[in-house]
Amino acid sequence: MGGFTRASPTDRGWLHAGIADLAGGFGLPGRAMPVPAEELPRYLDDAPLIISVTEQLPEDGRKGGHLIVAYGYEGGPDPVILFRDPSRWGQENHRVPLSRITASYTGRAIVFPPLTPEGRRIAVLGEMLELGDEAVEGHRSIGREAGELGVDLVVAVGDKLAKQLALAAKAAGVPEVAICGDNATAAAYVKSLVKPGDVVLVKGSRSGMRWQIAQEILGQPVTGMGSC
């Protein structure tokens, strides 16, 4: 294989600066930098963070090797950090005390500018295909959380599990909900209604290649999995 750019994965995972560059390409400029653990809540007042920890957040001295998204916190002497983790463990765990984060946190994070959307919050959410027996409830929980977070429109992409997500989102108070069977349909739907000032999140299992939706929306070339 040839050399890699800062936005390419290495044998130890994705380079932080590379992820920041990649986010910038989608209109969300990020910056990789040291952030002391005690300052994480302050940064979370402005925007979510990507932080480097050890998977499952052990307290045995191991540091880093895994990235999670911290998206909020609950105050107190030991603030509770709210996070999203792409691992299977992360499907059942999404809140821990800051002290536990600190135990495996490397002190480095990817920070983003304050999020002050003038328009709607749109979440385009593909099915998660690795949950096994927990799949139905896992998708329902995401729909409920969309309502709790004040999302204005949920576009669920896929089949039966997408329907479960959409139904839960509607029941949780999301004003608008749609179901699209594939990436092309979802991209065309979002492009038909997105307006300046709207914020669009696109997320799903890697096997679903949901990044294609973002590429279509941004007018970029649509890519597949690729190969080495």
Q: What does the pLDDT look like over 66-117, one tens digit per residue?
A: 999 999 899 889 999 999 887 888 888 889 999 999 999 999 999 988 866 6
Taking residue 141's Cβ as centre, other Cβ atoms within 10 Å add up to: 17
Q: What is the pLDDT of residue 174?
A: 94
Looking at the chain, the whole-number percentage of residues with pLDDT higher than 70 is 89
In CATH, what number does 9-111 get? Answer: 3.90.70.10
Q: What is the pLDDT of residue 12?
A: 45
Q: Find residue 96's DSSP bridge partners.
A: 81
Taking residues 6-14, report their average pLDDT: 45
Q: What is the pLDDT of residue 197?
A: 83
- pLDDT band at 22; cut points 50, 70, 90: confident
* Three-class SS state of 122: strand
Q: What is the pLDDT of residue 14?
A: 53
Cβ contact 152:174 at 8 Å: yes
In b/e form, how buried is each residue of 166-200, taking b as 16+ CB within 10 angstroms?
bbbbbebebeebbbbeebeebbebbeeebeeebbb
Q: What is the pLDDT of residue 5?
A: 41
CATH architecture of the region 121-218: Alpha-Beta Complex (3.90)
Per-residue pLDDT at 129 exceeds 70: yes
Residue 156 CB contacts under 8 Å (≥ 6 apart), including other chains: 125, 126, 127, 143, 162, 163, 165, 166, 169, 177, 178, 179, 180
Q: What is the pLDDT of residue 6?
A: 43
* Three-class SS state of 68: strand
- For residue 72, how far is the Cα from the chain centroid? 13
Average pLDDT, the chain: 85
* Three-class SS state of 69: strand
Q: What is the pLDDT of residue 26?
A: 67
* Three-class SS state of 141: helix
- pLDDT band at 222; cut points 50, 70, 90: confident
Taking residues 10-33, report their average pLDDT: 70
Per-residue pLDDT at 225 exceeds 70: no
Q: Do 121-218 and 9-111 have the same topology in CATH?
A: no
Per-residue pLDDT at 228 exceeds 60: no
Cβ contact 169:151 at 8 Å: yes
Which run of H or E residues covers position 169? helix 160-171
Q: Which residue has the higher pLDDT, 131 or 126?
A: 126
Q: Which residue has the higher pLDDT, 95 or 149?
A: 95
Residue ranges covered by each domain of the chain: 9-111, 121-218
